[in-house]
Each structure stands twice: as structure tokens, then as C-alpha cells.
Structure 1
Amino acid sequence: MEIPPWFRTAIQGRLDYVSARIEHHSDLKRVRAEEKKAFQVLFAGMDMERMPEFDVWEDKHHFKQAIMNEWLYLQGMKDGFQLAVELLSNPVPFDDDTLINSERNEPEA
């Protein structure tokens, strides 16, 4: 089943909005500062300007992580969408009358 373009656009908009909120979250700022400090300690004695290979690797690493996160998110959305469609297509009839009727039709022990 293919996801309609309007749904993809809506989900991408929601993802962008949520991502922006997360970027400014105080917990993430704290974690980011801790990560930066650990990075500085790790490479304290090295001249990063002489390590262009590291910059290339880091860019590729972050790009890979972003792609993986996007794919995981989209797969979750596809799964959720398929579940919603299936539930809406084949609703399980359940209400108080159904419960009462099923209890009346059960054989007594």
C-alpha cells in the first residue's frame, strides 16, 4: 500500500515541527553540552584542522543517522497507517448490547 503524497507532506510537517521543539528542549541542550565537553577532552591534544578526514567521516556519520531515523519514523507511520486502515475497514462490533447478548448465549457451567 502506497502512502498518499498529502499524508507524507503532513507527516513531514509534523516531524519538522517536533524536531524543532526537540532541538530547543532543555534536556537536549544539557546532553549536547556534555557531548561537546567529552569530545573536546577526547581530542584535546590534536589539531582538528589537520584531520579533514574526521570532518568527512563525521558528516557522513550524521547523514547516515538522519537517514536511518527518517526511515524508522516513516516505517512506523506506514505501520500505524496500515493498522488504522485495517481497523476502520473491519471494525470489531463491540458495544454493551454485544456484551450482554454474548453473555446470554454462553452455556452455563
Structure 2
Amino acid sequence: MDFPPWMQRAIQARLDEVSALIEHDTELSRVRGETDEAFEALFAGKDVEQTPEYAEWENRYIVSKGIENEQLYMQGLRDGIQLTVFLLGQSMLEESNTKAHQSTNANP
């Protein structure tokens, strides 16, 4: 199922907004700072992939990406739930209005 272009633009705008918020997250900034420090230490060694600094950098990088992905996922989940609740509410409202309209037309 393809979404209409206006909905695709709205979803992309929301993703951009959430991504920008995550970029300024304090926990993620701290972890990225630690990742950068570990990365700088990484290049002090000669055989980069065999050094403990590389393992440290790799671990911190994986953690920072995990935090970022978790935040994106959770925000997407919250947005999806809000959208579902709204759409269900609209559907139920329309159904209720239709039944009320049918009842008034059936009883003159």
C-alpha cells in the first residue's frame, strides 16, 4: 500500500524533526563524546584492529548507535499509537454519527 504524497511528506517531516531532537539528546551527546575520545585513542596504535583502543571505540560506537536507534524506534512507536488512536476515534465518531442519522431518518 502506497501512502499519498502528502502523508509521505508528513512522515518525512516528522522523522526529520525527531532526528534533530535526538541529535541534541544529552545522553547521546555524552556517549558520542566518549566515542570520539576512544576513536582518537584508536589512531595512537599501529595495528588498529588489534588494539584494545579499537575494541573500546567499536563498543562505544555500537552503544551510541543503539541509543539513537532505540530513541527513533520509541518515538515512531509513540507516533504510530497516537495516529492509530486518532484514526480509530475518527472512525468511531463517523460510525456513531451515521447510526444517529439513520435512527432519526427511520423514526419520523
- What is the rounded CA distance, in whole Å, between the counterparts of 1:86 and 1:7 in structure 2? 19
- What is the rounded CA distance, in whole Å, between the counterparts of 2:84 and 2:75 in structure 1? 14
Change (3 A) 1:74 1:9: same
TM-score by length of 1: 0.51
Instruction: Identify the structure with the greater helix proportion.
Output: 2
1:61 maps onto 2:53 in alignment:
no
- What is the rounded CA distance, in whole Å, between the counterparts of 2:84 and 2:70 in structure 1? 21
Aligned residue pair count: 75
Change (3 A) 1:86 1:10: same
Tell me the equivalent position of 2:79.
77
- Residue segments in structure 1 that go unaligned for 5+ positions in a row: 37-47, 94-109
Determine what percentage of the aligned residue pairs are the same residue.
Answer: 5
Q: Which has the higher contact order (CA 8 A, sep 6+)?
A: 1
Q: Post-superposition shift, 1:2?
A: 8.1
TM-score by length of 2: 0.51
What is the RMSD computed on CA atoms of the aligned residues? 3.5
Tell me the equivalent position of 1:15.
18
